[in-house]
Amino acid sequence: MLILSDSLGNECYSFAYKRLNFEHRAQVVIESTVTSKVTSNTFDDEVNRLISEYASFDKIINKLNKFSMYIEMMVKTYIISNLNIWSKM
């Protein structure tokens, strides 16, 4: 996870699902990326509240290994950033 921030106090979370290249083992291939909505690191807003409530380290359930934890954080951040796709089922 990478936290991108600017001088105005805005930030977003960026995730990338990576794997090794099958032909050249020294190269990395990015399969997919997820970037959260831009949020303020000084003021609380809905994105900050939801990420801290569902996708923070303390709230991650699957801590069996780093990959599982990372994927869970990535999926939760994607859902939080795209609330219109979540039907609350």
- How much of the chain, in percent, has pLDDT values that exceed 90? 19
Q: Is residue 78 part of a domain?
A: yes
Q: Is residue 53 part of a domain?
A: yes
Q: Is residue 28 part of a domain?
A: yes
Question: Model-level pTM?
Answer: 0.73
pLDDT at 29: 93
Determine the structural domain holding residue 62 and report its residue range.
2-84
pLDDT tens, position by position, 35-46: 888 888 777 788
Which string of DSSP letters, residue by residue, matches the chain?
-EEEE-TTSEEEEEEEEEEE-SS-TTSEEEEEEEEPPPEESSS--HHHHHIIIIISGGG----SSHHHHHHHHHHHHHHHHTGGG----
Q: Is residue 89 part of a domain?
A: no
User: Mean pLDDT over residues 52-67, rounded?
Assistant: 89
Domain total in the chain: 1
pLDDT at 86: 66
